[in-house]
Amino acid sequence: MKQSVCGALLGALAVLASAPARAQGVDEFGAYGGLENHGYIRSKQEVAFEVRFGPYHPNVDQGVAGSPYATIFGNDTRWQGGAELDWQIYRIPRVLSLGPGFGFGYTHSSAPAPLESGDGMSAQETTLGIMPMHLVAAFRFDYLADHTPIPLCPYAKLGLGYALWWSSIGEKSTRVDDKPGRGASYGYVWALGVLLRLDPLDSSAAANADASLGINHAGLFIEWFNSSLNGFGTNSGMEVGTNTWVAGLGLEI
């Protein structure tokens, strides 16, 4: 998996490096031919927005006896979708940025519930829905992309995680001992990732996007995301955190 990701990144770098040379200049519509990359036309950059997608396997079975999650839902890959918004409060232009970010996602697991008698499966679906959220400090290093031909921006995130979860059986919420099967979990999260800027693919379009929409940079990212939502080790809630990769589209605005 890691090899294929590295291969993809290297391939993308090769494509970007082989981009044809173009005439450069500035006309009434702004910079073109690459000059726009050198700071001629740049709108103010304040936030980063990410559309996130990736697998999600909650670590529910950690900290309990047995493996209720794997027993009920199996080991099939479940997916999450989400978004994140980072406010780049502290920023040294073309070097780095630092600021808080808030992200959320959603994932859902479902499977037929087994009969209590052990005689097989029922026709009713039992589900577990999770809405993980995180509030992090996001550090982004832009120097490489802004000062070298390598369009990569490594980044790191560290902060708090919080997740709402709920379970159902059929069309009803499940209950045990008259307590509803829903709750909240919290803990910490961290992530390491890299964003591949797409601006060099079409510098003119990137400049126009900045001039008309205020989008400074657009890129594809991939990150390793780790969340431990066990109450900072107190095991007070359901551990619905995960260790997984997340990919998506990032915009700096």
Q: Which residues bind another protein (CB under 8 A)?
A: 60, 63-69, 71-73, 87, 89-91, 98-100, 109, 113-117, 122-124, 126-128, 135, 137, 159-160, 162, 164-165, 167-171, 174-177, 179-186, 231, 235-239
C-beta of residue 88 within 8 angstroms of C-beta of residue 99: yes
Q: What is the smallest separation between the CB atom of 242 and another protein, expressed in angstroms?
A: 15
The b/e string for 199-219 (b: 16+ C-beta within 10 A; e otherwise) is bbeebeebbbbbbeeebbbbb
232 token code pair: 């900072």
DSSP per position, 121-145: EEEEEEEEEEEEEEEEEEEEE-HHH
Is the Cβ of residue 33 or residue 183 nearer to another protein in the bound state?
A: 183
Is the Cβ of residue 105 or residue 151 nearer to another protein in the bound state?
A: 105
Is the Cβ of residue 15 or residue 135 nearer to another protein in the bound state?
A: 135
> How many CB atoms are located within 10 Å of the residue 96 CB?
17
CA atoms within 13 Å, Cβ hemisphere of 16: 21
Q: What is the smallest separation between the CB atom of 159 and another protein, expressed in angstroms?
A: 7
Q: What is the smallest separation between the CB atom of 29 and another protein, expressed in angstroms?
A: 29
Q: What is the smallest separation between the CB atom of 46 and another protein, expressed in angstroms?
A: 10
